[in-house]
Amino acid sequence: MHVTVLGATGGIGRATTLELAARGHAVTAVSRSITPAHVPSDVRALAADLTDPVAARAACAGSDVVVMAASLPYAAWANHLQPMVTTALDAAAAADARFVMVDNLYGYGTPDTPITDASPEVGTTRKAAVRRDLGRSLLAAHAAGHARVTIGRFSDYYGVHGQNSLVNMLGVDRVLAGKRPQAFIDADQPHTFAYLPDAARAVATLVERPEADGRSWILPAAEPRTQRAILTLVCEAAGRPARIGRITPGMLWVAGLVDTQLREAREQVAQFDRPYVALGRDFEATFGPLRTTPHEVAVAETVAGRRVARSSGAPLAA
């Protein structure tokens, strides 16, 4: 099977590229700035601007499945995310390829009970509306026969390649730089964190199983942990004392006055000031249990991999 991964230098894009290649698929890894150094030798690297319809169609030509793992900074979601995804969807349709969209859980908002596939998408923030409308448009395209669409959704993630994730930015990379790790808003609320290789195995399952088409799936992850528990594991793996700080809502508000990304992150407070748990029950009932990595192992692997990355400065190709 020939699979094209769009956004292949991002966290889940890179992890999915590696997983698909390990399963023996022919993989083309696409992003604006990718080079062969970013991928294993058996993966084709292709630089392309996914906002350009001609470039997107060329990137997807000959594919059996297109994985859309590319995203944009928060501030660009409202005006630019839907057009970019639509361009990718049209490119997949032109290639007669299935379209597997990698998505998050924002559309569900912050319910008082665990998020499941049966949960209504009732999020009230601007970002929730963007993601909800995006998912609905993709499934409408599937229902209309324009393309064959599957959506895989997962919660906050971490991993060697997830340098822009909350756990990596506020935990792993700060600790490896000799700084104190920081919890976001509340250190002691249970939260679902997905390890990127686990999420990539779930995405690869959707790639290989065309019966997944026509709906969204919450991807399974290891059991929920608090940020304090995860950051304590980070400190233990790095050989540092577990002295954990906290970014408070007030600190976030002040920082957002001068930092656009932090200003946009104000909408995410409600995902961290209360329990935020997601359950991939439908996925496992349909495709079987997904092997997930215990957080103790996953965090240790992340710290070790990020330490190598920091010391070498080279792209992470494996």
Q: Which residue has the higher pLDDT, 181 or 264?
A: 181
pLDDT at 318 exceeding the cut of 50:
no
Pairing of strands 225-226, 190-191: antiparallel
Q: What share of the chain is helix, strand, coil (3-state, %, to 5)?
A: 45, 15, 40
Q: CA 234 to CA 180: how far, in whole Å?
A: 11
Mean pLDDT, to the nearest integer, of 66-94? Answer: 95
Mean pLDDT, to the nearest integer, of 81-101? Answer: 97
Task: Give residue 125's Cα distance to chain centre.
Answer: 19
Nearest to 66 by CA among 138, 157, 127, 129: 138
**Taking the CB of residue 314, how many other CB atoms lie within 10 A of it?**
10
Q: Which of 82-86, 87-91, 159-163, 222-226 has the lowest mean pLDDT?
A: 159-163
Q: CA 264 to CA 256: how far, in whole Å?
A: 8
Mean pLDDT, to the nearest integer, of 143-172? Answer: 94
Give counts: helices (H), strands (E), the chain. Answer: 12, 13
Rg (CA), the chain: 19
Q: CA 209 to CA 260: how far, in whole Å?
A: 39
Mean pLDDT, to the nearest integer, of 271-283? Answer: 96
Q: How confident is the model at residue 48 (pLDDT cuts 50, 70, 90)?
A: very high
Q: CA 288 to CA 291: how far, in whole Å?
A: 10
Q: CA 178 to CA 181: how far, in whole Å?
A: 9
Cβ proximity of 30 and 307 under 8 Å: no
Mean pLDDT, to the nearest integer, of 14-38? Answer: 95
Q: What percent of the chain has pLDDT over 70?
A: 97
pLDDT at 65: 98
Locate the domains of the chain by residue range. Answer: 2-158+193-222+277-292
Q: Which of 54-58, 171-175, 308-312 has the lowest mean pLDDT?
A: 308-312
Mean pLDDT, to the nearest integer, of 301-310? Answer: 92
Q: Using one digit for the tens of pLDDT, what is the confidence trace for 98-116?
A: 999 999 999 999 998 999 9
Task: Give residue 160's Cα distance to chain centre.
Answer: 13
pLDDT at 316: 42
| Residue 87 backbone phi and psi in degrees, to 5 | -60, -40
Q: How confident is the model at residue 313 (pLDDT cuts 50, 70, 90)?
A: low
Best CATH choice for the domain 2-158+193-222+277-292 from the list 3.40.50.720, 3.40.190.10, 3.40.50.620, 3.40.50.300: 3.40.50.720
**Taking the CB of residue 37, how many other CB atoms lie within 10 A of it?**
10
Q: Mean pLDDT for the chain?
A: 93
Mean pLDDT, to the nearest integer, of 172-199? Answer: 96
Across-strand partners of 150? Answer: 100
pLDDT at 23 exceeding the cut of 70:
yes
Task: Give residue 241's Cα distance to chain centre.
Answer: 29
**Taking the CB of residue 83, how many other CB atoms lie within 10 A of it?**
11
Q: Which residue has the higher pLDDT, 38 or 63?
A: 63
pLDDT at 209 exceeding the cut of 70:
yes
Cβ-in-10-Å burial (0-12, 13-18, 19+) of 110 comes to buried
Give this prediction's pTM. Answer: 0.94
pLDDT at 254: 82
pLDDT at 137 exceeding the cut of 60:
yes
Mean pLDDT, to the nearest integer, of 78-86? Answer: 95
Mean pLDDT, to the nearest integer, of 284-309? Answer: 96
| Residue 257 backbone phi and psi in degrees, to 5 | -65, -25
